[in-house]
Amino acid sequence: MTIREVISKIENRIPLQQAEDFDNVGLLCGVPDRNVSGILVCHDALENVVEEAVQKNCNLIVCFHPIIFSGLKSLTGKNYVERAVLKAIENKIAIYAIHTAFDNDFFGVNHGICGQLGLKDLKILQPKKNNLKQLTVFVPKDHSEKVRETLFAAGAGNIGFYDECSFTLNGNGTFRPVEGSNPFSGQQNIRENADEDMISVIFEDYKKGRIISAMKAAHPYEEVAYQVYTLDNENQHSGLGMYGEFEEALDEREFLKLVKAKFGLQLIKHSDFTHKKIKRVGVLGGSGASGIKAAIAQKCDAYITGDIKYHDYFLAESKMLICDIGHYESEQFVTQQLFEILSQKFSTFAISKSFEKTNPVNYFI
């Protein structure tokens, strides 16, 4: 199996179109048509991780953080990024990054954090906006099922944990073929009355091209009548962060002890105690100060993330306990999550987890 084929299967599960616009995801270096000898899954594709891939005969590294984030103007090995990329190229190793595509995935980074804490009734903290579109197409009734099935196969009609969702209305359509037309039914210059179904489906914006192409290919008409609308609805199953609830509320100190134990932490930085029980908890792996206001709006009692700055703690306003457990620490389960996903999809070659240390932050206790 080639690197290109492996990537296609990965993206079928975790679409890169879910990633944030600022991100640099996908194949960062490597020849896509090269056969895969093995996959190494890691958090950061640093030089020591690339060397680990060499030793394990893995020529594809699937990493969470993209080693190339800003543009490279040279490759001379003068910094840690260039050294890692150079080593990968010299050893014919491809590097593929998933980052915020997995952050925005319902079963991604933040789902993993919630699972560690035992939170229930999980919901997206910051649902994606301007992400959903609705297609309405008019189809002759005896071709309705074929077009509907084609739309479903192309990815339309997925709403949360349901698929093949559509709505159909039957009615009478009219059209008159004029000179130059090659009508499916009727005659030129005579108005045709057709028994038609109006089919409506919802889909994510990034699927638009393939859905429209598939719909036109399956449709019998020479000129297809359809409309695409952008919906104001937020995508409740894709976005940054997540929140859920404990079955039983915890005292603030009990909560911090639980977090410390579940994440193997040496310390937790937090805002002032609110002196309220912790029931609803918001999480956002990585650098998540941007989610503080959303967590307060969702009436979270506590919020777990990393990279909180001094003034961010004031945003708690005694409404919520803000907890900074560290950037890497909040994302530490990602490697295992990706390893499990890839292990389910591929069985013809070795998939390994990296055991190299890549967290740049150290603590002196």
pLDDT in tens, 14-40: 999 999 999 999 999 999 999 999 999
Average pLDDT of the segment spanning 162-173: 96
pTM of the model as a whole: 0.92
- Which pLDDT score is estimated for 202? 97
Query: What's the whole-number average pLDDT of the chain?
Result: 96
Write down the pLDDT at residue 184. Answer: 84
Contacts of 183 (CB under 8 A, 6+ apart): 175, 177, 192, 222
Q: What is the distance between the alpha carbons of residues 346 and 328, in angstroms, rounded to a whole number?
A: 27
Q: Out of 171-180, 192-201, 286-295, which region has the weakest mean confidence (pLDDT)?
A: 171-180
pLDDT of residue 275: 96
In whole angstroms, give the CA distance from residue 330 to residue 334: 9
The region of weakest confidence among 41-50, 140-149, 265-274, 345-354 is: 345-354
Residue 139: per-residue pLDDT: 97
Bridge-based pairing of strands 321-324 and 269-270 is antiparallel
331 pLDDT tier (thresholds 50, 70, 90):
very high
- Asked whether the beta carbons of 102 and 334 are under 8 A apart, the reply is yes
Tell me: pLDDT of 186 over 90.
no
